[in-house]
């Protein structure tokens, strides 16, 4: 079977779709695009799709990932274009590579998030960020299906800063933007948990709900706090494979070539 890994987005109003809603939409897109999917065995076969670390409902994302298994080989870019055309605007398939490595989920170690705080001055947000980063631990609570749960929101944050608001704001209303890198730990720390932590440490309470977008997810460089593309190892492997095959072919030809000899051993 061929495995293809895809990167897709959740933009605009479709950030409010749940993961189950997306699964249904994606399986319809697979049928509409006539992708030769592999199916599971059993009484209720379903297409072999592996979803990795989906963003919470209500948050936008530029970097969601999944993997599909095909029964026939297809060019990844062709599959990407067909699926992108078969999904609604906002659920956009932006990248595709053939899987040449294992462990895509293991490479999703951290996420880069952007939080837009309308009605909050940049100076106020900056002071809240300083207070949060200065704390050794920031306990917060979140309601789960098993009731209220307390955990530390500070330990998962590898980087947090305010960034300039792009463009001018003719309405004159205050706005602050936070950029943060959050490790994928257990229990998972989400952007709204970090906002709760900012309220705990600095009494930061935006007057309107924050707009949250995941910008990237992948391997975390602890020294720089940056997150790298999780599909890069597959691209590198695909680039190396043709040259390796060519080298093996050349070596086989050279090693197997020998002059024809007669029965007495002379050429």
Q: What are the tens digits of pLDDT across the range 73-128?
A: 999 999 999 999 999 999 999 999 999 999 999 999 999 999 999 999 999 999 99
Residue 242 lies in a domain: no
d(CA 157, CA 183): 6
Judgement on whether residues 158 and 92 belong to the same structural domain of the protein = no
Estimate the crossing angle of helix 19-32 against helix 76-86, to 10 degrees. Answer: 110
For the chain, the domain total comes to: 2
| Position 263 in a domain | no
Cβ atoms of 208 and 120 closer than 8 Å: no
Asked if 75 and 114 sit in the same domain, the reply is no
Residues 6+ apart with CB under 8 A from 7: 63, 64, 65, 93, 94, 95, 96, 231
- The number of beta carbons lying within 10 Å of the beta carbon of residue 116 is 16
Contact 66, 5 (CB under 8 A): yes
pLDDT above 80 (res 8): yes
Q: Would you say 193 and 84 are in contact if contact means Cβ atoms under 8 Å apart?
A: no
Supply the angle between the helices 191-202 and 122-134 in degrees, to the nearest 10: 90
**Domain annotation covers residue 20:** yes
The answer to whether residues 208 and 141 belong to one domain is: yes
- Domain ends where: 85, 106, 127? 106
257 within a domain of the structure (yes/no) = no
Same structural domain, 221 and 112: yes
60 shares a domain with 120: no
If asked whether residues 218 and 141 sit together in one domain, one would say yes
Interval 12-62: pLDDT, tens: 999 999 999 999 999 999 999 999 999 999 898 999 999 999 999 999 999
84 plus 132 within the same structural domain: no
CATH number, residue 188: 3.30.70
- Most distant pair of Cα atoms in the chain: their distance: 98
pLDDT in tens, 205-261: 999 999 999 999 999 998 888 999 999 999 999 888 665 444 555 555 555 544 444
Tokens of 16: 């409010």
User: Where in the sequence is the domain holding 210, given as residue range(s)?
Assistant: 108-228
């Amino acid at each position: 079977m061929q495995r293809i890994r895809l990167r897709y987005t959740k933009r605009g109003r479709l950030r409010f779709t749940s993961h189950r809603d997306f699964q249904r939409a994606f399986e319809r897109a697979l049928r509409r695009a006539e992708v030769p999917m592999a199916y599971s065995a059993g009484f209720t076969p379903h297409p072999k799709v592996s979803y990795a670390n989906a963003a919470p409902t209500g948050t936008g994302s530029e970097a969601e990932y999944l993997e599909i298994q095909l029964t026939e080989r297809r060019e990844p870019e062709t599959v990407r274009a067909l699926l992108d055309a078969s999904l609604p605007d906002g659920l956009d398939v932006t990248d595709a590579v053939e899987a040449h490595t294992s462990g895509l989920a293991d490479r999703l170690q951290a996420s880069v998030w952007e939080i837009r705080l309308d009605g909050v001055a940049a100076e106020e947000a900056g002071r809240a960020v300083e207070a949060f980063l200065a704390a050794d631990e920031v306990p917060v609570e979140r309601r789960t299906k098993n009731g209220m749960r307390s955990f530390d929101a500070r330990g998962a944050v590898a980087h947090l800063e305010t960034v300039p608001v792009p463009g001018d704001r003719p309405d004159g209303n205050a706005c602050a933007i936070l950029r943060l890198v959050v490790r994928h730990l257990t229990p998972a720390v989400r952007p709204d948990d970090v906002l709760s932590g900012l309220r705990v440490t600095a009494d930061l309470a935006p007057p309107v709900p924050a707009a949250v977008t995941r910008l990237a997810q992948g391997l975390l460089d602890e020294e720089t706090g940056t997150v790298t593309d999780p599909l890069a190892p597959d691209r590198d492997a695909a680039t190396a494979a043709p040259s390796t095959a060519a080298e093996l072919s050349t070596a086989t030809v050279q090693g197997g070539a020998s002059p024809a000899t007669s029965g007495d051993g002379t050429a």
